[in-house]
Amino acid sequence: MAELSQILKQATGVVAARGEGVQLFDEDDRRYLDFTAGIGVTSTGHCHPRVVAAAQEQVGKIIHAQYTTVMHRPLLTLVDRLGEVLPQHLDRMFFANSGSEAIEAALRLSRQATGRPNVIVFHGGFHGRTVAAASMTTSGTKFRSGFSPLMAGVHVSPFPDPGHFGWPVEQATDFALSQLDYVLQTLSTPADTAAFFVEPVLGEGGYVPANERFFAGLRERADEHGILLVVDEVQTGFGRTGKFWGGDHFGSQPDILVTAKGLASGFPLSGIAASSALMEKAWPGSQGGTYGANAVACAAAVATLDVIQDEGLVQNSAERGAQLKQALQMVADKHEQITDVRGLGLMVGNEFRDANGKPDPVTAAAVQQEAARRGLLLLTCGAWSQVVRFIPALVVSPDEIDEAATVWSDAVSAITT
């Protein structure tokens, strides 16, 4: 048991006892600013009173009914409410429990609908930890090494990451699209390619936004070749980037949209949305699972949507995100180890590089731990774990952003000077 608790504590050693909004308290009642939001899950903050009330009320009515046999009201309400925020043509949903499972569902549907075996993914993408999802993940060897053979039929093409080569966005986009054509010509011909799987902003891959021309290029190739465009909104959905969907920044036009994390404020719930015509290609019984669309999780998701709407959280994400980025850029301007501050909305990353321009995960981890000692919880990301990311709940206030930026500035100074 002692060993297990060591594993679970990981870098910060913080054992959460309770949470309120962006604040988290450990078992000794020490207060932390939680700028991890459980990896972006607690979109409405820890224990938002309306989410708590909805879940508590539902627990006393029906905890679980397997919806392929017996439907329940929270799911019916949730589907209606999601219809208001999803692109109109995505009028059918399937629900599961985690992002990885939803990715698997999108993969199954893509193969079923097209009768084609392969998928093309993009460098630095993260799609989950089940073996199929890990096979489609290229944001770090830790996610895929040691459990080969991985799933066959996955081909990788460059993401338009300007920082990787030090190129302007236009050049990175030209390169990504021309390499995609090369992959379609040489490795996975259109006749063999079921789908493109792409994130609007690389999440685990280091908070690198895509762009409009890249998504237009994906859509064009998808239409030309009958390939499905699967947009993984697991990390970027539900207002995280300052628009409701991350793809809204770029006119993403998905055939299948994958969602999880922010959907239910911390309850395990995920889903895919597609058109009825596409969903009908999934034969009965091929998509399912015991716990998908759990009634308590659905009730929490409905309350989450209410809170996002009533409290203007998408706009707050955009405004507080701009404030956060500006504050972090001021810190970066004083420390040459931080070479880039980037992201959209409340999804902001700080890139650490050494004097030779190489990714610097050691300094990134040291600063992350120093910030935790000073009461600010953060996560790292990036293929080398060289990025420290800020993802507070969308309810974060201007004062909490200022407080976090001050702690960050002190932590960076303590480690780098």
Nearest-CB residue for ligand PMP: 99
User: Per rule CB under 6 A, is residue 128 in the interface with ligand PMP?
Assistant: yes
Q: Residue 198 pairs with which residues in a beta bridge?
A: 231
Q: Compare residues 78 and 103 and give the one whose CB is closer to ligand PMP.
A: 103
Q: Binding ligand PMP by CB under 6 A: which of 74, 99, 246, 254?
A: 99
Q: Compare residues 153 and 271 and give the one whose CB is closer to ligand PMP.
A: 271
The alpha carbons of the chain give a radius of gyration, in whole angstroms, of 21
- 387-390, strands of its sheet edge to edge: 338-343, 348-352, 387-390, 379-381
Task: Check if the beta carbon of residue 246 is closer than 8 Å to that of residue 201.
Answer: yes
User: Per rule CB under 6 A, is residue 104 in the interface with ligand PMP?
Assistant: no
Lay out the site mask for ligand PMP across 256-285 (x = CB under 6 A, - = otherwise): ----x-------------------------
Shortest reach from residue 237's CB to ligand PMP, in Å: 9
Shortest reach from residue 264's CB to ligand PMP, in Å: 11
User: Per rule CB under 6 A, is residue 294 in the interface with ligand PMP?
Assistant: no
Q: Compare residues 147 and 182 and give the one whose CB is closer to ligand PMP.
A: 147
User: Per rule CB under 6 A, is residue 387 in the interface with ligand PMP?
Assistant: no
**C-alpha span between 294 and 263 (Å, rounded):** 13
Q: Compare residues 145 and 178 and give the one whose CB is closer to ligand PMP.
A: 145
Task: Check if the beta carbon of residue 163 is closer than 8 Å to that of residue 181.
Answer: no
Shortest reach from residue 362's CB to ligand PMP, in Å: 23
Q: How many residues bind ligand PMP (CB under 6 A)?
A: 16
Q: Binding ligand PMP by CB under 6 A: which of 42, 235, 252, 294?
A: 235
Q: Compare residues 300 and 327 and give the one whose CB is closer to ligand PMP.
A: 300
User: Per rule CB under 6 A, is residue 234 in the interface with ligand PMP?
Assistant: yes
User: Per rule CB under 6 A, is residue 39 in the interface with ligand PMP?
Assistant: yes
How does 39-72 read in b/e, with b if 16+ C-beta sit within 10 Å? bbbbbbbbebebbeebbeebeeeeeebebeeeeb
Q: Compare residues 82 and 411 and give the one whose CB is closer to ligand PMP.
A: 82
User: Per rule CB under 6 A, is residue 37 in the interface with ligand PMP?
Assistant: no
Provide the residue count of the chain. 417
Shortest reach from residue 321's CB to ligand PMP, in Å: 18
Shortest reach from residue 294's CB to ligand PMP, in Å: 14
Q: Which residues bind ligand PMP (CB under 6 A)?
A: 39, 98-100, 103, 126-129, 199, 203-204, 232, 234-235, 260
